[in-house]
Amino acid sequence: MQRRRLALALAGAGVAALLPPRAAAAGPTRLALGTATPGGGFQVYGQAYADALDETDPTLAIEPRATRGSTENLPLLEAGALDLGLVTGEVAHEAFAGIGRPAATGLRIVNAMYPNSGLFAVRADGTLRTLADLRGRRIAWGARGSGFVVLARYLADGLGLDLERDFASTYLDRAADGPAMLLDGRIDALWGGGSAWPGFTAVADGPAGARFIAPDDASLQRVIDKHPFIRRTTLPAGSYRGQDRDIVTLGSWSLVLGRATLPDEVMHRVALALHRGREGLRRRLPLAGESTLANTLAAAPRTELIHAGVRRAMRELGLPA
């Protein structure tokens, strides 16, 4: 199935790198951007990102494409079926480090998106309040290809738990299916994260409201000690209706990745458009205000993993890249 999806995507990619030179010169540079399933934060971000960059630089045309999420975007990028892809930090870490797969030598970081904050949402009218309360419960961990599932596995591993053994786990075909399942009682908790994540917004705005559950401080430290690339992140108070305090949890920076073979000149234009269009991006999606070149430099495991065209733009803007 995965091979068939890759073949179909390659056949209809239409990305700039696959266009004949004359066709590519006839209009803006088109870049196919892999996002995720409907109802997730990556689709919302991808559209805001495309609109902001296209508005800032009319020579660019960023084309968002729905995928199964982070774990599908990687092979699509490597196969040349996508130019750009949204990927959670955990999935990017595994790709660059060669964990469970060959190291992704053909991919580069284009920009940091925002820090993901993984946590659970439950109905506020229920009794579940701690991670211990969720043992054995029905949990929807996200869409099958989502990086949130990968983050959940790191959380479980750091605490000596197993998603299949210690929970009644559900994986979604679409991220949008999760909130309804929680609201009507088919699941007990929904795993996700980040500010203004559509799934959590739907639960928090529902008739029962939402209660959010994150690992306690000792549990967070256990996970970080075992997996040092995981970081403490803070979900600011007011990110969702009824959330009146900051929530400290775990996560990492989600990234826009691109093929290393994308021309430096094109990626230089993308980076400058991101920099010049940052207020337009923030206006469309406040969380995307974190998508700056300075944050990209800070989030990259190694500077050489940032695309050379992006690093050129950074140096022109006074950043030590």
Looking at residue 26, its pLDDT comes to 60
Are residues 120 and 216 in contact, defined by beta-carbon separation less than 8 angstroms? no
The pLDDT value recorded for residue 23 is 37
Judge if 2-115+254-316 and 118-251 fold alike in CATH terms.
yes
72-82 burial by CB neighbour count: b if 16+ within 10 A, else e? Answer: bbbbbbbbbbb
Residue 159 in tokens? 């605490």
**Biggest distance spanned by C-alpha atoms of the chain:** 63
Q: Residue 77: CA atoms inside 13 Å, Cβ hemisphere, count? A: 30
Distance of CA 283 to the CA centre of its chain: 19
Count of alpha carbons within 13 Å of 253, Cβ hemisphere only?
Answer: 20
Looking at residue 1, its pLDDT comes to 44
- The pTM assigned to this predicted structure is 0.82
Q: In CATH, what class is 118-251?
A: alpha beta
CA separation, residue 65 to residues 18, 75, 321 (Å): 17, 14, 30
Sorted by where each begins, the domain ranges of the chain are 2-115+254-316, 118-251
pLDDT of residue 39: 84
In this prediction, residue 143 carries a pLDDT of 86
How far is it, in rounded angstroms, from Cα 66 to Cα 82?
Answer: 11
pLDDT at 273: 98
Please state, in angstroms and as integers, the Cα–Cα distance from residue 264 to each residue in 92, 245, 269, 297, 313, following that order.
21, 43, 9, 17, 10
Under-70 pLDDT residues of the chain: 1-26
Condensed to tens digits (0 to 9), the pLDDT of residues 121-156 reads 999 999 999 999 999 999 999 988 788 899 999 999
Residue 284 confidence (pLDDT): 96
- Cite the beta strand spans of 48-137 per DSSP E: 60-65, 84-87, 107-115, 118-123
**Which CATH number describes the domain made up of 2-115+254-316?**
3.40.190.10
Give the per-residue pLDDT at 25. 52
- Phi, psi angle pair for 85, to nearest 5°: -150, 145
